[in-house]
Structures are given as structure tokens and as C-alpha cells.
């Protein structure tokens, strides 16, 4: 008799960052099962993501890409979905009766209705920390761009101006080993930022009411302080908190007023953490010397936004997590979770 091998059907929906080919490569590497794989490439980041409040039937979903009917048709009778940005709403779950597991290659599966998934008996896993190293490095780059006048010198040269005056004692940049940096949030990214700052000899303050510092950080002189103390004592404040009801616009007018005159604010986390109108006022008045902003309250940021007109701000288009390692690491974490599902094991990062 001919032995019939049962194939596990997997649908991969990637994009031009999280490449389907990398997902497929990692699945084949980590899964012992025979896989029948179908792949779809979405247009992100060349085309912006969508939000559920804009589309009927997609309420509550954020930062996703794809038409619901087209996604359902592509997934079809697959048992597993591996994706980065594809949405999954309650109505979609009701149509996909063979779907049993979704692996989302991002820190939070905000493109998935996890309550609906639970009701449908579908396991949802994510990949926390996938880009923590990339964002931490980017944060240090942003800090250096501000403290060492990299942005100022660059923009002057682009305009044909030689800023030799930046070597004056009253305009020269400052080294990290003479500064105090306040880190808000001590999760995957915040802890890495602290580690990098320690290597520069920086004095580091941390605010996070839900953690204890590592023994290494304590021995290195890192201090766990209150929010107000961090703001008042830091030359640079960098935020790495998650967006919750408690943290939404925690950096508001009062917070910016508490910061030291001439200090610098860094945001490589999320736009909702910051009251950008209040930040604009503080930068315009000169109370804050500068800021590095990687995320915004509205994305893509409108080109007429007053923030991007200011001369004392470094701006980037939400690319802190964009590294090749992020792609391969996230795909590997997702593949490991799929293998655990096939083996009947509990997820490492389930929702």
C-alpha cells in the first residue's frame, strides 16, 4: 500500500518588509510536519496601513492591511495563518472554519480580534521583542543626533552653510558620559537602551512602576525613580512605555514643563504616548532644546504639521524597527510557535 502523508496547510501573508520567502524558509527549517504553503505579498510599507475605525466590520483592529474578503479567499481552508499585517475580524473568523492558529510577527497582534479568535477556538501568538535591539540602537542614534549636533550640522551643510561656530564652547555638543538620561519604560526595548547608555558612561534614571531593575543595572548605578524625579533630573528623556489608558499622553504640557530647561525629548515608541501640541509649544518656546521623533499622533504625519517645520527637531518616518535582523528573528519566532502548535505544546507568547 502507498503511504499517504497528511499535509498541514499554511497560508503566509507577508509584505515588502516581512518577506513571505523568509517566513516560508523558517517554517521549513523548524517544522517537522509536511507543509502545504501558499504565499501572498502585500504592498506595505509602500502603501500605508489601515485602521478598523475607518472600515465597516473591522472595528477595533489597528495597523492592518488587506481587504477582508480577499484575505478570507486566500486563507481558504488553511489550518494556520502566518502574517504580519493581515486583518482578522470576527466576521472573518466566522467564515474560516478550518483555521486553528495564527502567528503574527509583531510585538502586539493589534490587527487581530483576539476576543473573536478565542470564541472561534483559534490560537493567536505574537513575537514580542522582535525589534527591541533595532529600536534600542536607533534610540541611541537619535540621542547622538541631538546631543552632538549631527542634525544641526547636516542641515546647515545641505543649505550651503559651514557651521564652524558649532565648535564654540557655547554651542558645542555634549558627551553622553557627562549627561543624565531618563528612560521611561523598562521592557524589552528600555532595558536594552539602558545597557547601551551604560556603555557610554551615562548616568541613567529609570521610571517604570511595574518592574525591578536587574542586578547588573543596580550595580552599575542605574536608579529607579518616580516619574517627576526623572523629568526634573534628566538632560534627555526617552520614552519606551506601552500604550495603555494610563500612559496615553503621559508626556503632556505638565510633563514637558517639569523637564529641565534646555533638555531633549526622544520618542521612538508610539505617538499616543505624547501630547504633540504641548511638545510643539515647549520646543517653540525654547524650554526644550530639541527632540527626536520617530512616531507621531497621526501617521503618515501631515506635511503641513507644525512639528516638522521646527528647526530643533530630528524626524524619521517610523523606521526604528526596520532592520534585516528584525525580519529573520520575527519569522523564526513565528515558525517556532507554529511548530509548537503542531506538536500540541503550549504557546510561548499566546493571546
* Active site annotation includes 299: yes
165 and 156 Cβ atoms separated by less than 8 Å: no
Catalytic residue among 38, 51, 233, 318: 318
Give the β-pairing of 80-83 and 8-14: parallel
Q: Give the Cβ contact number of residue 330 at 10 Å.
A: 27
Give the β-pairing of 236-239 and 288-293: unpaired
Of 66, 71, 41, 44, which Cα lies nearest the Cα of 55? 66
**Three cell numbers written together for 160:** 550651503
Cα 287 from Cα 311, distance rounded (Å): 14
306 and 280 Cβ atoms separated by less than 8 Å: yes
* Active site annotation includes 318: yes
How far apart, in Å, are the Cα atoms of 252 and each of 231, 279, 312, 314? Answer: 12, 7, 19, 19
* Active site annotation includes 270: yes
**Alpha carbon 214 to chain centroid, angstroms:** 23
267 and 291 Cβ atoms separated by less than 8 Å: yes
Give the angle 17-22-27 at the CA atoms, nearest 5°: 135
Catalytic residue among 29, 155, 178, 299: 299
Strand residues in 252-303 grouped as ranges (E) = 263-267, 288-293
- Quick check: helix, strand or coil at residue 130? coil
Catalytic residue among 270, 294, 332, 340: 270
Q: Which are the catalytic amino acids?
A: 270, 299, 318
Amino acid at each position: 500500500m502507498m503511504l499517504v502523508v497528511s499535509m498541514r496547510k499554511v497560508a503566509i501573508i507577508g509584505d515588502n518588509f516581512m518577506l513571505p520567502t523568509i517566513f516560508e524558509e523558517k517554517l521549513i527549517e523548524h517544522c517537522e510536519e509536511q507543509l502545504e504553503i501558499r504565499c501572498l505579498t502585500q504592498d506595505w510599507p509602500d502603501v500605508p496601513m489601515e485602521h478598523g475605525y475607518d472600515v465597516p466590520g473591522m472595528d477595533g483592529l489597528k495597523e492592518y492591511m488587506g481587504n477582508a474578503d480577499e484575505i478570507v479567499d486566500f486563507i481558504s481552508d488553511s489550518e494556520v495563518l502566518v502574517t504580519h499585517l493581515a486583518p482578522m475580524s470576527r466576521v472573518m473568523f466566522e467564515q474560516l472554519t478550518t483555521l486553528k492558529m495564527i502567528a503574527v510577527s509583531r510585538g502586539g497582534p493589534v490587527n487581530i480580534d483576539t476576543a473573536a479568535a478565542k470564541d472561534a477556538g483559534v490560537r493567536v501568538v505574537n513575537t514580542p521583542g522582535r525589534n527591541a535591539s533595532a529600536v534600542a540602537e536607533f534610540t541611541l542614534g537619535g540621542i547622538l543626533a541631538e546631543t552632538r549636533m549631527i542634525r544641526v550640522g547636516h542641515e546647515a551643510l545641505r543649505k550651503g552653510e559651514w557651521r564652524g561656530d558649532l565648535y564654540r564652547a557655547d554651542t558645542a555638543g555634549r558627551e553622553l558620559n557627562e549627561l543624565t538620561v531618563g528612560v521611561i519604560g523598562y521592557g524589552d526595548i528600555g532595558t536594552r537602551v539602558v545597557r547601551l547608555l551604560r556603555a557610554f558612561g551615562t548616568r541613567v534614571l529609570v521610571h517604570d512602576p511595574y518592574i525591578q531593575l536587574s542586578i547588573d543595572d543596580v550595580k552599575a548605578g542605574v536608579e529607579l525613580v518616580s516619574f517627576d524625579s526623572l523629568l526634573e533630573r534628566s538632560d534627555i528623556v526617552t520614552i519606551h512605555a506601552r500604550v495603555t489608558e494610563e500612559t496615553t499622553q503621559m508626556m503632556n504640557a505638565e510633563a514637558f514643563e517639569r523637564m529641565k530647561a534646555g533638555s531633549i525629548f526622544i520618542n521612538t515608541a508610539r505617538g499616543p504616548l505624547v501630547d504633540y501640541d504641548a511638545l510643539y509649544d515647549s520646543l517653540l518656546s525654547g524650554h526644550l532644546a530639541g527632540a527626536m521623533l520617530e512616531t507621531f499622533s497621526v501617521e503618515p504625519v501631515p506635511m503641513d504639521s507644525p512639528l516638522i517645520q521646527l528647526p530643533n527637531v530630528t524626524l524619521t518616518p517610523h523606521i526604528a524597527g526596520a532592520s534585516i535582523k528584525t525580519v529573520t528573528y520575527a519569522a523564526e519566532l513565528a515558525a517556532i510557535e507554529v511548530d509548537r502548535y503542531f506538536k500540541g505544546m503550549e504557546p510561548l507568547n499566546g493571546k
